[in-house]
Amino acid sequence: MKAFSSSDDQPRLRADDFRLLRDLVNDHAGLHFDDGSLYLFERRLGERVAALELGGFDEYYKYLRFNARGKAEIEESIERLTTKETYFFRQEYQLRSFANELLPRLAEANRDSGQLTVWSAGCSTGEEAYTVAILIARSGLFQGWNVRVVGSDISRRNVATARRGTYRAASFRTTPPEIRREYFVEEPEGVRVVERIRAMCHFGQLNLLDRTRAALVGRADAVFCRNVLIYFDMRSRKKVIDNLYDRLTPGGFLMLGHSESLLNVSTAFELVHLSEDLVYRKPLAARRWDGSSP
């Protein structure tokens, strides 16, 4: 039976199919959707049911599970269901604390190695990673160092946009004018990050639940994972935090979004009070909380 309404030819999503799709998305990406999200799924995935010429959402579910192209289609559905909202210099008070209080500590701690890696985990279209690179460059503390800013996101489209490094006005809603003048150039397609900042940044597609692929990031001295975990269920948050913990160097810092915390997620981190913010730190004598070595 074709599950399409007669009025607008949009496929209708039944509650039991919604629950199956929701669980599949949750298993794959960690995203949590409550019962009120049925219409969001119907709107955002309905076009895919039509594009694949399927009879309804029940067939779409089977396609995702069993078709040879199912895995690619799960990625497509996640592209459509994630919130990509981001902009340069988001949560400015936290960035000030990072620049004024954490970068000097990292410069001191890593003086011998001359290496610094900061990871923007769930970077969306790249604004957060470029912001971090600009702060590092402006600090003047890392000249001649091997500095890497790694940006990763589950969405291939976001990663492609990040690599392009060209943005529209909405990305600059809280960018100080002097920064915009110094680190961006106007081009016909939009406003582009200058080359010396782009050269510090490396972007890749990564599902934060995937521990094996996360290891490709290497060791990070600081991780920004902001406005990502709010969309996850508790089990997936724990998994992601576990992965980020593994990637951090002992003494390394974790920055979350303003409405996010590790309460009920992990006790493995220390809380660090900065003048304008609270951040988390992997203890210097870090052991995994299950008692084994890191």
Ligand X SMILES: C[S@@+](CC[C@H](N)C(=O)[O-])C[C@H]1O[C@@H](n2cnc3c(N)ncnc32)[C@H](O)[C@@H]1O
Whether residue 287 lies in the annotated active site: no
Measured from the CB atom, the residue of 139 and 207 that comes closer to ligand X is 207
CB of 78 to ligand X, least distance (A): 7
CA atoms within 13 A on the CB side of 162: 34
Token pair listed for 231: 């969309």
DSSP 186-218: EETTEEEE-HHHHTTEEEEE--TT-HHHHGGG-
Exposed, middle or buried: residue 20 (CB in 10 Å: 0-12, 13-18, 19+)? middle
- Contacting residue, 11, 30, 165, 252, with ligand X by CB under 6 A: 30
Considering only 23-31, 110-118, 215-223, 258-266, which stretch makes contact with ligand X by CB under 6 A? 23-31
Of residues 147 through 186, those in contact with ligand X by CB under 6 A are 153-155, 158
Of residues 113 through 132, those in contact with ligand X by CB under 6 A are 122-124, 128
Measured from the CB atom, the residue of 115 and 207 that comes closer to ligand X is 207
CA atoms within 13 A on the CB side of 30: 20
H/E stretch holding 115: strand 115-121
Report the alpha-carbon distance of residue 35 to residue 233 in Å, rounded. 14
Report the alpha-carbon distance of residue 133 to residue 203 in Å, rounded. 13
Measured from the CB atom, the residue of 237 and 286 that comes closer to ligand X is 237
CA distances from 167 to 127, 161, 188, 228, 244 (A): 9, 9, 11, 21, 28
- Contacting residue, 208, 241, 254, 279, with ligand X by CB under 6 A: 208
Identify the active-site residue in 17, 58, 153, 277.
153
Whether residue 153 lies in the annotated active site: yes
**Binding of ligand X at residue 227 (CB under 6 A)?**
yes
H/E stretch holding 240: helix 234-247
Query: Is the Cβ–Cβ distance between 250 and 286 less than 8 Å?
Result: yes
What is the 3-state composition of the chain as percent helix, strand, coil, each rounded to the nearest 5?
A: 45, 20, 35
CB of 168 to ligand X, least distance (A): 15
Identify the active-site residue in 12, 14, 44, 105.
44
Measured from the CB atom, the residue of 118 and 286 that comes closer to ligand X is 118
Report the alpha-carbon distance of residue 184 to residue 58 in Å, rounded. 47
Measured from the CB atom, the residue of 12 and 239 that comes closer to ligand X is 239
Token pair listed for 113: 């190695």
Of residues 60 through 99, those in contact with ligand X by CB under 6 A are 82-86, 90
Measured from the CB atom, the residue of 110 and 243 that comes closer to ligand X is 243
CB of 30 to ligand X, least distance (A): 5
CB of 155 to ligand X, least distance (A): 4
CB of 143 to ligand X, least distance (A): 27
CB of 270 to ligand X, least distance (A): 23
Considering only 59-67, 168-176, 186-194, 223-231, which stretch makes contact with ligand X by CB under 6 A? 223-231
Helices (H) and strands (E) in the chain, counts: 12, 10
Contacts with ligand X by CB under 6 A lie at 29-31, 82-86, 90, 122-124, 128, 153-155, 158, 207-209, 226-228, 257
Catalytic residues: 44, 153
